[in-house]
Amino acid sequence: MTRAEARGAPAATALRGLAAVVFDTDGVLIDSARLHAAAWKTAFDAYLRDHPPSDPSRRHPFDLDDDYPRLVDGRSRLDGAAAFLTSRGFEPDPATVRAVADAKERLFSARIDEGAVAAYPGAVRLLRALQEADVPRAAVSASRHARELLARTGLTDLLDVLVDGAEAARLRLPGKPDPALFLEAARRLRVRPGRTAVVEDAPAGVEAGRRGGFALVVGVDRAGTEAARGRLLEHGAHLVVGDLADLVDEAAPTRGGAQ
């Protein structure tokens, strides 16, 4: 499906005729992206306070609206930490990158222990509709917490495959915008990327979906802003929705066609 075709089709029918759907996890299926963003901000701002950049113009705190989607969202912890520190003029060594990433990990884990995560109702509706239509479903995530979060939010039984951060590390898969995570999920579902949809909220993830040759790349703009929508389209989204409920087709067809 071309981008023009996707834009011209109702969102609820965009998934028709596809063999499978691969979802990002944080910010797409689970309301956890905000927790990741807040943990990154605390970790990065602390580092900047202790190590002010030599260039005064780069000393401003981590920006949730700009830095998070542009440098961190959708990437592995180490890649995200390195990208941000580089953007502030540092030449970060591996030990520094890991120290900042580990600080973020501790902050995020504390929020999880507080029970501050939930599945998006629209995501549950869509997963159930696809399950009833016998359309295979996979989730991917650069986070090692994905399996735990999917279990806590009751989504595990609605998915056929999960490729999380632990699996990515074991298989040495590169992070987004490389399409390796999505391609591994499609391989495990035994479907071709050209017959599969990717659903993502991060520009890096959208770009990964396009690089991987997936038939349809759906961007999810939970912020509901023209800027966020524009970033997703610029990185290759065929279609942008505000909620996964927009993709639910009450008359969803059963799985069909060659894979």
CATH number at residue 202: 3.40.50.1000
Domain end position, chosen among 81, 113, 145: 113
Q: Are residues 152 and 231 located together in one domain of the fold?
A: yes
pLDDT grade for 61, boundaries at 50, 70 and 90: very high
Closest to 150 measured CA to CA, from 22, 26, 39 = 26
pLDDT for residue 249: 62
Q: Which residues pair with 199 in a beta bridge?
A: 23, 218
Instruction: Name every residue whose Cβ is closer than 8 Å to that of residue 250 and which is 6 or more positions away in sequence.
Output: 12, 129
- Detail the DSSP E strand segments found in the chain: 20-24, 137-140, 161-163, 196-200, 216-220, 239-241
Q: Are residues 135 and 187 located together in one domain of the fold?
A: yes
User: pLDDT tens-digit profile of 113-164?
Assistant: 776 788 999 999 999 999 999 999 999 998 888 999 999 899 999 999 999 9
Q: Which of 24, 31, 164, 201 is catalytic?
A: 24
Q: Are residues 156 and 224 located together in one domain of the fold?
A: yes
Residue type, 77: R
Domain region containing 221 = 3-31+119-247
Q: Are residues 67 and 142 located together in one domain of the fold?
A: no
Is beta strand 20-24 parallel, antiparallel or unpaired with respect to 196-200?
parallel
Given a cut of 80, whether residue 206 has pLDDT beyond it is: yes
3-state secondary structure of 25: coil
Residues 27-56, mean pLDDT to the nearest whole number = 92
Q: Are residues 183 and 225 located together in one domain of the fold?
A: yes
Distances (CA, A) of 248 to 62, 107, 122, 157, 256: 36, 35, 8, 18, 17
Q: Which of 26, 67, 73, 79 is catalytic?
A: 26
Q: Are residues 126 and 94 located together in one domain of the fold?
A: no
User: pLDDT tens-digit profile of 5-37?
Assistant: 555 455 557 898 899 999 999 999 998 878 888
> How buried is 133 (Cβ within 10 angstroms: 0-12 exposed, 13-18 middle, 19+ buried)?
middle
Number of domains in the chain: 2
Given a cut of 60, whether residue 256 has pLDDT beyond it is: no
Domain assignment present for 255: no
Q: Are residues 79 and 204 located together in one domain of the fold?
A: no
Domain end position, chosen among 113, 143, 173: 113
Q: Are residues 41 and 146 located together in one domain of the fold?
A: no
Q: Are residues 226 and 192 located together in one domain of the fold?
A: yes
Single pTM value for the model: 0.77
Per the annotation, the verdict on 26 as an active-site residue is yes
Per the annotation, the verdict on 134 as an active-site residue is no
Residue of higher predicted confidence among 75 and 11: 75
Q: Which residues pair with 26 in a beta bridge?
A: 30
- Express as a percent the part of the chain with pLDDT over 90: 69
pLDDT for residue 259: 47
